[in-house]
């Protein structure tokens, strides 16, 4: 018998398949500051580290859609590099916070894509239906934030806008899999969080949901997943 894949694994596989190569168009250097004109900044965020040709650089600023300013002692001579990957988490807020607390290094857990549990799977068992299921769920794109020092505009520039770009790239990856996901006439809701936490009516985000100080956005959606034909090996058929 072929068993249905967990929806967590369905979404997790999409996240793990995401890879972002930043193509450099031109470089302007002044001392240790390098201004990179690129084809796409993706979700690069000020304050994060980049590894370019084996050397480490700190992102000073990002001017979407095509400029990343970095600081580092080594000259940049290559024309592309991989952007740091997003991390995937799933679970309830309490379960996920336990995981996050165990990792003290922010670069080992953010930016993160968090699949909130619980969620709903609606399955289609008609053998003639190409649909396997519809997943109704909430996905959060979150990164490190400085709540004490940032104003709202800082939160948008430094965290929310990069996470919105990460979210859009996630959606684009779904679109690249038309045999697996149905995105025709697709609708979804997006919510921004300058201070990600528990919402208190008329008081904004009064309490952090996680120990980490995070900001970003939420993608609230219903996603139709198509069936995959995967026959049992001949020796397993009775």
Neighbouring C-alpha atoms within 13 Å toward the C-beta of 221: 22
Residue 6, CA distances (Å) to 20, 129, 195 in order = 26, 19, 31
Residue 153, CA distances (Å) to 147, 156, 157, 159, 197 in order = 12, 5, 6, 10, 18
Residues 106-130 pLDDT 10s: 889 999 999 999 899 999 988 889 9
Cis check for the bond before 111: say yes or no (omega within 30 of 0). Answer: yes
H/E stretch holding 32 reads: none
Q: Confidence band (pLDDT; 50, 70, 90) for 103?
A: confident
Instruction: Please name which of 14, 51, 28 lies closest in space to residue 170, comparing C-alpha atoms.
Output: 14
Average pLDDT, the chain: 90
Q: Confidence band (pLDDT; 50, 70, 90) for 200?
A: very low
Q: Where are the domains of the chain?
A: 7-16+86-226, 20-82
Residue 155 in tokens: 């939160």
Task: Report helix, strand or coil for 4.
Answer: coil
Buried b (16+ CB within 10 A) or exposed e, 136-146: ebbbbbbbbbe
Q: Confidence band (pLDDT; 50, 70, 90) for 199?
A: very low
Q: Tell me the pTM.
A: 0.91
What's the CATH number of domain 20-82, 2.60.40, 2.40.30, 2.60.120, 2.40.390? 2.40.30
Bridge-partner residues for 113, per DSSP? 88, 141
């Amino acid at each position: 018998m072929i068993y249905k894949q967990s929806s967590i694994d369905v979404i997790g596989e999409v996240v793990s398949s995401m890879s972002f190569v930043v193509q450099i168009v031109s470089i302007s250097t002044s001392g240790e500051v390098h201004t990179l004109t690129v084809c796409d900044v993706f979700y690069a965020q000020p304050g994060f580290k980049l590894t370019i040709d084996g050397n480490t650089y700190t992102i000073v600023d990002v001017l979407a859609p095509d400029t990343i300013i970095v600081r580092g002692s080594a000259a940049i001579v290559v024309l592309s590099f991989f952007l740091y990957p997003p991390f995937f988490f799933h679970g309830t807020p309490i379960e996920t916070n336990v995981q996050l607390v165990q990792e003290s290094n922010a670069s080992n857990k953010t930016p993160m894509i968090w699949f909130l549990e619980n969620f709903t799977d609606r399955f289609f068992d008609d053998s003639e239906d190409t649909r396997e299921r519809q997943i109704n769920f909430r996905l959060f794109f979150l990164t490190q934030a400085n709540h004490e020092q940032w104003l709202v505009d800082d939160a948008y520039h430094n965290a929310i806008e990069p996470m919105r770009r990460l979210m859009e790239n996630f959606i684009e990856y779904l679109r690249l899999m038309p045999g697996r996901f149905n995105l025709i006439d697709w609708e979804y809701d997006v919510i921004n969080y300058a201070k990600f936490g528990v919402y208190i009516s008329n008081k904004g985000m009064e309490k952090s949901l996680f120990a980490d100080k995070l900001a970003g956005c939420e993608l609230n959606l219903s996603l139709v997943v198509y069936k995959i034909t995967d026959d049992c090996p001949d020796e397993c058929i009775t």
